[in-house]
Amino acid sequence: MLVTLLLWQLGSISTPHFYISRFFEEHKADYIHHMREVSSTGAWENWCIFFLGAVKEQAFQNLQVAESTRNLLIGICFVGTGSGGRRRSRRILILMR
């Protein structure tokens, strides 16, 4: 959470909605290993590589969720286009761009 807030404060992300803890929970053994290596040998480079890999993977998952959500909304917009529905659907699609 602190890293996310730091990235937000630095302007690297626009809002603090980047949940990276999930990656660390799923890769707990690797997380602990890298943290111990930093503590015992100062292996910051390996920690940074691991952390940036987590950011990359979580960003990809976030993008997939966003695309799925957008596709779902597009599908919903085209259901029931009678009685002015087409105009409402068009307005929603314009807002989603």
Look at residue 37 in the predicted model and tell me its pLDDT. 96
Burial 55-83 (b: 16+ CB within 10 A, else e): beebeeeeeeeeeeeeeeeeeebeeeeee
What's the pTM? 0.59
Number of alpha carbons in the 13 Å side-chain half-sphere of residue 41? 8
Which pLDDT belongs to residue 64? 84
Give pLDDT, residue 68.
82
Cα–Cα distance, 11 to 28 (Å, whole number): 28
Instruction: List the pLDDT tens digit at each of the 97 positions of the chain.
Output: 566 667 777 777 777 666 778 888 999 999 999 999 999 999 999 999 999 999 899 888 878 877 887 777 777 666 655 555 555 556 665 655 5
